[in-house]
């Protein structure tokens, strides 16, 4: 099948060019070109993704080489082999021994699959993905979409590759769907969203790995022959691995790599909150194949004739000027075209959360005293965390019983919420809807609503089981009970928590051949519940959480524009966690709180100033017993809140420049938030490893307008932007009592 049209004549399509003479698809973002070509009228090849060219004529076209042991599907040509050919979407069992993007099995038990080019469509705008979160456009002239059909000539399986190319962003949103165009059922065993072959392997792989309380540490490792990557099989994207990887170009010396401001980097970010795989395979000829999508572990999908399976989206970003520009592209895309709802564009309230203040041990009086202190410090919102429902005095009971515990709150949620509101604060509420405690009325009434392997003792985590969200009756129950609680308390904010990983993804309702679908169906069910609940409360701010930042991913951000970044609230540890998070996610998505000292996770003592400075990098709040603070401390907090309110537009909606990264420097980190009009900026610097007798250091700023004069607030000094960026500031290092500096700059 040949590519039909010479060019796309629709004048509204600006970023997709089709050249029928060369059988080429050329996608252009503002600074990059992504080129595919149909070879031998059937194989869709990935030619390259590189800095933008006006027209691709084939200077780097593919070269066939006769390689020993590589099978040849073309009888007459030993130089052609799928094993060395960069297929845009490689299938299994026909000669490519590298990692396939798709694996299926047919009714007769065979698995060999050909995917041949069949045709394409170009659409203005970007279609939604059925049942899944995805980036979206508000106007059709923001983005153009190319859909390419590949078909198996034997079974009729149709695979449609979709590329939405953003006109003003260096991003391509890519996804895949498979339709059974034959008459017999097909079982999908693996279906990735992206497979992308790079012509060489001179990159480092950057991934965000960690654990509870140390999420999203940045790891770099040079690519080596064979497979390398990260995967979550935990039923959540997880704090252990984040669904985000970057190929970072290595310099000619083979050791240095692209940095914050220079060099070529390629980011891949999966818009999904469940099991995933993100890997790179380097083949014997130094080609690097990037794979990203649903994890094939514990996954299969039974696709009947005529049915379609939609795989999640990957947002791909290329930057020719380092990690900083890549991050800013992700930040803008996710803040403006992934997050939704009224809080997408609104500043976030400054909140106090009672978790680290009281844990489970509270009553109405104690909570109202905390709220009164919060009001004294000019906070906006009081959040009631875990422990308000059922008979929950610890974490062993009551999940699922979403009605108030009258022993603690005799007047119910409404009375507490009214009390908080009468103090002048909004009221917010914590829930953990996906879980069920065995000691709960819900479990007594519906034991089959928990995911479990029949006949086996269930595996508990934090003493709780997981609800089977693949079931429509469970989804309906949650939608009803959550809406009732939120209406009753007239909430302004909801924290949606999830505190264990999932091991037994077996549903009491599923047939044996569809049990492999349950982990993905769980996610689809969760997304449906989230859609219904968040749509019913358009003016409520939703924050997601999973034992801290254990499900900090783009899928969740589609429904809830901010995420609790980590249960680790130690200010110095937070510097690295927030910097790692900022590689992919915008400041507006990171919830950051000031907590008590000694810190509850680490025992470290940091100053209130430092805790405030670090937490102001995102959506700001407090999580400590304010009633125990002195008047001076409350006055200091009032000052912090006033400063945050004066800078929050810049922090939440501006550009982030990482000046010094924790993965490059153990001693200090620094970052800047600059407003889009470059008239205001906030510089924050943290000495993460205070030393006695330290050196004096120079910090060069970034992102300012070179010609504008900026006043340093509270210092009575003003400098031109070029001086601040080129000459920089000279700073004396503080000690452990004075280990951060925050400078607010305003153009005069
Ligand atoms: C885990 C969350 O990360 C905490 O902030 C808190 O909400 C607890 N769960 C409550 O159980």
pLDDT tens across 653-694, in order? 999 999 999 999 888 999 999 999 999 999 999 999 888 888
574 with 614: CB under 8 angstroms? yes
309 within ligand 1 shell (Cβ under 6 A): no
pLDDT of amino acid 257: 83
Q: Of 96, 553, 567, 739, which is the active-site residue?
A: 567
Mind listing the pLDDT tens digit for each residue in 166-199?
Answer: 999 999 999 999 999 999 999 999 999 999 999 9
Atom of ligand 1 nearest to the CA of 545: 3
Can you give the pLDDT at residue 255? 73
Domain ranges, ordered by start, for the chain: 16-337, 349-653, 660-747
- Catalytic annotation, pick one of 468, 497, 553, 570: 497
Ligand 1 atom closest to Cα of 430? 7
Say what the pLDDT of residue 12 is. Answer: 54
Catalytic annotation on 19?
A: no
Determine the Cα–Cα distance for residues 194 and 174; give it in Å rounded to an integer.
7
Question: What is the dihedral sign for C-alpha 42, 47, 52, 56?
Answer: negative
Q: 349-653, superfamily in CATH?
A: Aldolase class I (3.20.20.70)
Among 385, 398, 496, name the best residue to mutate to test ligand 1's pocket (greatest count of ligand atoms within 8 A of Cβ): 385
CA 743 to chain centre: 29
Ligand 1 atom showing the smallest separation from residue 548 Cα: 3
Structure-token pair, residue 657: 């420049």
Is 567 a catalytic site residue?
yes
Fold of the domain built from segment(s) 16-337: Beta-galactosidase; Chain A, domain 5 (2.70.98)
Cα distance between residue 681 and residue 711, in whole Å: 10
| Closest to 195 (Cα-Cα) out of 275, 302, 281 | 281
Candidate CATH numbers 2.60.40.1120, 2.60.40.1180, 3.40.50.720, 1.10.10.10; the one for domain 660-747? 2.60.40.1180
Task: Confirm if 244 and 269 have CB atoms less than 8 A apart.
Answer: yes
Buried b (16+ CB within 10 A) or exposed e, 325-350: bbbbbbbbbbbbbbbbbebeeebbbb
CA distance 441 to 357: 28
**Does the beta carbon of 525 sit less than 6 angstroms from any atom of ligand 1?**
no
Pocket test for ligand 1, best of 497, 500, 574 (most atoms within 8 A of CB): 497
In the chain, the percentage of residues whose pLDDT exceeds 70 is: 98
Give the pLDDT confidence of 385-431 residue by residue, as tens digits.
Answer: 999 999 999 999 999 999 999 999 999 999 999 999 999 999 999 99
pLDDT value at position 733?
81
What confidence score (pLDDT) does residue 737 get? Answer: 73
Is the pLDDT confidence value at 129 over 90?
A: yes
pLDDT one-digit tens code per residue, 656-666: 999 999 999 88
Q: What does the alpha-carbon distance between residue 243 and residue 330 come to, in Å, rounded to a whole number?
A: 14
Whether the domain at 16-337 and the domain at 660-747 fall into the same CATH topology: no
Six-digit token pair at 699?
């910090």
The reported pLDDT for the residue numbered 7 is 44
Q: How far apart are CA 719 and CA 630, in angstroms?
A: 38
Rounded to 5 degrees, what are φ and ψ at 375?
A: -65, -40
* Cβ of residue 387 lying under 6 Å from some atom of ligand 1: no
How far apart are the C-alpha atoms of 448 and 201, rounded to whole Å?
50
Bridge partners of 128, per DSSP, are none
């Amino acid at each position: 099948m040949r590519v039909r049209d010479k060019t796309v004549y629709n004048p509204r399509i600006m970023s997709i060019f089709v050249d029928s003479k060369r059988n080429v698809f050329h996608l252009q973002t503002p600074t990059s070109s992504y080129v595919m070509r149909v070879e031998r009228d059937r194989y869709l090849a990935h030619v390259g993704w590189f800095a933008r060219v006006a027209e691709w004529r084939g200077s780097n076209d593919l070269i066939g080489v006769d390689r020993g042991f590589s099978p040849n599907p073309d009888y007459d040509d030993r130089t052609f082999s799928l094993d060395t050919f960069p297929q845009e979407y490689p299938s299994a069992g026909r000669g490519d021994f590298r990692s396939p993007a798709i694996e299926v099995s047919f009714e007769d038990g065979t698995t060999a699959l050909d995917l041949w080019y069949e045709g394409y469509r170009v659409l203005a705008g970007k279609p939604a993905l059925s049942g899944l979160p995805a980036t979206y456009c508000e106007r059709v002239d923001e983005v153009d979409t190319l859909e390419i059909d590949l078909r198996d000539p034997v079974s009729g399986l149709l695979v449609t590759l979709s590329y939405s190319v953003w006109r003003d962003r260096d991003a391509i949103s890519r996804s895949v769907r498979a339709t059974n165009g034959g008459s017999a059922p097909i079982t999908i065993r693996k279906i990735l969203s992206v497979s992308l072959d790079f012509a060489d392997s001179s990159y480092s792989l950057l991934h965000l790995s960690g654990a509870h309380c140390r999420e999203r540490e940045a790891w770099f490792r040079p690519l080596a022959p064979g497979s390398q990557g990260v995967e979550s099989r935990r039923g959540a994207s997880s704090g252990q691995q984040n669904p985000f990887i970057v190929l970072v170009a290595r310099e000619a010396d083979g050791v240095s790599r692209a940095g914050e401001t220079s060099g070529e980097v390629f980011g891949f970010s999966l818009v999904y909150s469940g099991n995933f795989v993100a890997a790179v395979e380097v083949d014997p000829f130094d080609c690097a194949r990037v794979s990203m999508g649903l994890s094939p572990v514990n996954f299969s999908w039974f696709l009947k004739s005529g049915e379609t399976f939609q795989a999640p989206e990957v947002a791909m970003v290329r930057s020719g000027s380092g990690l900083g520009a890549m991050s800013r592209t992700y930040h803008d895309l996710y803040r403006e075209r992934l997050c939704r709802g009224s809080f997408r564009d609104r500043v976030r309230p400054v909140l106090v959360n009672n978790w680290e203040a009281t844990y489970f041990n509270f009553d109405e009086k104690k909570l109202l005293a905390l709220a009164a202190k919060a009001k004294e410090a000019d906070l906006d919102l009081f959040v009631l965390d875990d422990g308000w429902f059922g008979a929950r005095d610890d974490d062993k009971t009551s999940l699922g019983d979403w009605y108030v515990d009258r022993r603690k709150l005799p007047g119910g949620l409404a009375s507490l919420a009214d009390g908080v509101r009468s103090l002048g604060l909004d009221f917010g509420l914590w829930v953990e809807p996906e879980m069920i405690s065995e000691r709960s009325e819900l479990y007594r009434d519906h034991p089959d609503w928990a995911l479990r392997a029949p006949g086996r003792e269930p595996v508990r985590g934090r003493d709780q089981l997981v609800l089977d969200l693949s079931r429509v009756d469970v989804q309906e129950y949650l939608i009803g009970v959550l809406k009732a609680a939120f209406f009753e308390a007239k909430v302004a904010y909801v924290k949606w928590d999830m505190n264990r990983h999932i091991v037994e993804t077996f549903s009491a309702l599923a047939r044996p051949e569809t049990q492999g679908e349950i982990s993905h169906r769980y996610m689809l069910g969760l997304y449906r519940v989230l859609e219904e609940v968040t749509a019913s409360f358009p003016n409520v701010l939703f924050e997601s959480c999973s034992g801290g930042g254990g499900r900090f991913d783009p899928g969740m951000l589609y429904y809830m524009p901010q995420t609790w970044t980590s249960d680790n609230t130690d200010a110095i540890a937070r510097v690295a966690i927030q910097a790692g998070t900022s590689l992919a996610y915008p400041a507006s998505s990171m919830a950051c709180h000031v907590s008590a000292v000694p810190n509850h996770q680490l025992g470290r003592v940091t100053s209130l100033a430092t805790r405030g400075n670090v937490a102001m990098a995102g959506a700001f709040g407090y999580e400590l017993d304010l009633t125990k603070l002195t008047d001076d401390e409350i006055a200091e907090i009032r000052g912090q809140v006033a400063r945050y309110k004066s800078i929050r537009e810049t922090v939440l909606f501006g550009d982030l420049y990482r000046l010094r990264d924790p993965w490059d420097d153990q001693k200090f980190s620094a970052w800047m938030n600059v407003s889009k009009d470059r008239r205001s900026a906030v510089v924050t610097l943290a000495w993460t490893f205070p030393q006695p007798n330290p050196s004096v250091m120079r910090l060069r700023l970034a992102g300012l307008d070179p010609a504008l004069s900026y006043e340093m607030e509270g210092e009575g000094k003003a400098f031109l932007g070029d001086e601040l960026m080129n000459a920089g500031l000279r700073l004396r290092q503080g000690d452990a009592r004075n280990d951060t500096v925050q400078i607010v700059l305003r153009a005069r």
